[in-house]
Chains A and B, each alone.
Chain A
Amino acid sequence: MEHFAIWIAAFLTLGIVSFLYKDNAWYKLCEAIFVGISAGYWFVVLFWDNLHGKFWMGKGEDPMLYVGAILGILMLMRLIPKIGWISRWPLAFIVGATAGFYLINYFSSDVMSQVGSTVMPFFSTGYGSGVNASLYDIIGNIVVAVGTFTGLVYFYFSKEHKGAFGATAKVGIFFLMVTFGASFGYTVMSRMSLLIGRVDFLFGDFLGMIVQ
């Protein structure tokens, strides 16, 4: 049974990889299997986790769960064309509640915390510690402060990027691009590890050419 599973996995892996050559029937078959199985799998997971696990099992303990259930039923009103407009209510609730909830979170983490952390002395390793920073620390402190400030200038939409303001914004986008470059390299390396995992499966588990 295990050998059969390995053969199936290798067949599907090679089928997906065959897309690199061009779209073909093998890829289409694997794509359909992948989409169909995953959609079915997620339906079962969501049913047992949410509808059964959270609502059905916990409805006696938390009356708020009924609110979610009612919103879910309202969403199903789409299936009845005459009252389909009711399904907009739960959507409006989700969008409004989400926006309000995240407003405070983002404001706290992305604004308050960011500004508070950037207010730091250039020539010290910490606030109130005296002039004790190495050249490396000083450059790091200045890069953080200048990068944050110029980045904010770039994302300021009420003024045209011209003159000194434009030059500052260019410094900001320069910082962003350097960050993205570093991030690109880092993420590509992590993707390489995924590729190595599949190649290891094909040559090791499937073909047996790699001795574990």
Chain B
Amino acid sequence: MTPTRLHIFRVISISTICVLLLASLALSQDEATPTTNLSTEIDTVIIEVAAPTSLIATDHKYDNGERINLQWVPSIDDLPGISTVVGYRIYRQDDGGAAEAIADLPAKANHYRDENTELGHTYIYSVAALTDGAEFVSNPTESISPEREWIDFSKRYLFLIALIVGGAVIYFIEIARRGKKLFVRKIAGLEAVDDAVGRATEMGRPILFIPGIQDMDDVQTLAGLTILGRISKTIADYDTEIFMPVSRSLVMTAGREIIKSSYQTAGRPDKYSDDMVTYITDEQFGYVAAVDGIMVREKPATIFLLGAFFAESLILAETGNYIGAIQIAGTARPAQLPFFIAACDFTLIGEELFAASAYLSGEPKQLGSLKGQDVGKAIAMVILVIGALATTIGTAWNIASMNSLVDILKTIFSTS
């Protein structure tokens, strides 16, 4: 081989080796890409977890047949801190239909209440443990139908105590009917009612009665209207003028009926006029603007604010105070009572408003009801003292009998 040929051979050989090397390098790079893809697939591979177990469906007690309770043991892979379970999904089959997801719950959940069941339907439930991208479903429950219970026995103690108080009310009504005088302590604000009406009569000015801004479905409005019955009778007797602006149409109707009845009882039906009770507006502050205007223009000598009041209480009471009217207020709303106490001459606090009608009328039914409620309060006071002492002693010295007594009381007075 000549040197020239040898050189050419070497060049070709080296070039071939280089090409082969480059080719192998390129091939190795081509092969590396699938390797990377494989590792990605390994990252997203589905990790299996155990499904929830021991799933039980039970009818919710004491309801109208619209609830079913579910309870299960969470997945054993639902561990604190390192859990791969991200939550649970509840599936329901309605009357043998397809399973539908009805709720998603967080990890660690072990119960659920289905509140959308219907009487007569049959349901089968299952619970799935959720991971990122997969579900592991439990065994389904037995088929179950919700049931309706006609009596809510969870309220048996409430019923028992209501029965005792109700019995006391009936007892005292009967006692009052037989003519026995029932004692009710003086309520300062009510002692002033006749004086307040008399003052308006002497001054020749009207009386303004404001029954609050709530409708007839509020007991405070009812209490206020009951007192109106007594007040309007006195007003009819004294032949004084009464004006009652209202913010609810039903209250207007009831107010007219009450005042009309009082004027008839007083023997002065001709003096009654529907204009005594006027609807203003349902809007809270529109009503206030109108009543404030009435106050400063008509200048009533006496103002009664008896019923349910909200933010308007201070505006009304302060305007009444400004025009120099004697004011008797009453409400059971704790947030508004301070304003009445500050701006009115007499204030019926909370239950005094409800007791007022009985006190004013002296009727056996109302007096008996008031006395019966006092029996309830007496029971509450005794239980408070016994319960507070028993739980204090029982907790401090761990006395079993005291703790048992407290447990009984807690059970009776539990409202949950």
Contact = CB atoms under 8 A, between A and B. Distances in A.
A180 to B, nearest CB: 4
Classify chain A's interface size: 35 or more
A159 B335 CA distance: 28
Contacts, number: 193
A67 B155 CA distance: 29
B217 interface: yes
Contacts of A107: 158, 161-162
Nearest to B162: A107
Contacts of A134: none
Contacts of A127: 391, 395, 406, 410
A129 B335 CA distance: 34
B175 interface: no
A113 B410 CA distance: 10
Contacts of B384: 115, 118-119, 145, 148-149, 152
A156 B374 CA distance: 6
A7 B285 CA distance: 20
B178 interface: no
A112 B161 contact: yes
Given A91-B216, A95-B216, A158 B371 contact: yes
Interface string B304-318: 000000010010000
A119 B406 contact: yes
Contact of A42 (B281, B378, B380): B281
A203 to B, nearest CB: 21
B403 to A, nearest CB: 8
Given A31-B290, A176-B349, A181-B338, A108 B158 contact: yes
A196 B187 CA distance: 40
Contacts of B283: 34-35, 38-39, 41-42
Nearest to A75: B253
Given A23-B297, A108-B415, A152-B377, A98 B383 contact: no
B184 interface: yes
A126 to B, nearest CB: 9
B292 A19 contact: yes
A82 B258 CA distance: 19
Given A38-B281, A39-B283, A120 B388 contact: yes
Contacts of A108: 155, 158, 415
Contact of B281 (A39, A88, A152): A39
A55 interface: no
A34 B395 contact: no
Interface string B211-226: 0000011110010000
